[in-house]
Structures are given as C-alpha cells and as structure tokens.
Amino acid sequence: MPALPIFLFTAIAGVVALSILIIAQTVGPKRRSAVKEMPYESGMDPVHSARHRFNVTFYLLAIEFLVFDVELLFLYPWAVAAHEQGAFGEGHGVFFAVAGFLAVLLIGFAYTWRKGVFKWT
C-alpha cells in the first residue's frame, strides 16, 4: 500500500498539532486585562475603531484575482497533457482548447479593464 506512509504521516502530524494546541491552552497563562484586549497599532493608541468599511474596489479586485488565479491553475494540467502528447503530434486538440481558454481569459481581463475595476480614483 503506497498510501499507508502518507496516511500515517498525516495522522501523526495531526496528533502532534492537536496535542500542541491542547497543551498550550491548558498550561498557558489566562490573565486578561483591558490593555491586552485593545487592538495593536504599532505601539500607538488606536485612533479609530478596528471595524471600518472598505471600498468596494478592494472586493472587486480580490474577486478578480481569485478568478484569474483559478483560471491560471488550469494551465498546469494542460502543460502536462501537452508534454505527454507532444507539441505537434496528437496535441493539436489540446493546443486549440487552451488557445480558446486563453482567449476567454483575455476577453474577461479586457472587460474588467473597461469596467474600471483597476482604477483607484
């Protein structure tokens, strides 16, 4: 069973991590004070509340990053498949599939650019 060592390693790592957390929770100090509950701002007194609204542009950019990141993750299996099939042999179908995929990716990027997601003013 080639999966047995991986399973054992994962189980032992989980047990060690869980035991460290339990030991730290039971043995560690539990003295609370008002100073410890304050948010830390580089050694200065907090000026504002820790909860404030972010501009929607941050969320749009984060979603855009996730979409393009996941799309680019799909390029790795393509590279492996193209390597196994040969660049010019049977791999023409793979090449055209990825060319279409990249075209959709670039169209989406152009759309978000035209919508002004990347403008910060």
pTM: 0.49
How do residues 20-44 score in pLDDT, each as one tens digit?
999 999 998 888 888 777 777 676 7
d(CA 118, CA 70) in angstroms, rounded, equals: 19
Domain 3-115: homologous superfamily in CATH:
NADH:ubiquinone/plastoquinone oxidoreductase, chain 3 (1.20.58.1610)
Non-local (6+) Cβ contacts of 36 within 8 A are none
pLDDT, tens digit, for every residue of 62-116? 888 998 888 888 888 877 877 777 655 565 777 788 888 889 989 988 998 898 8
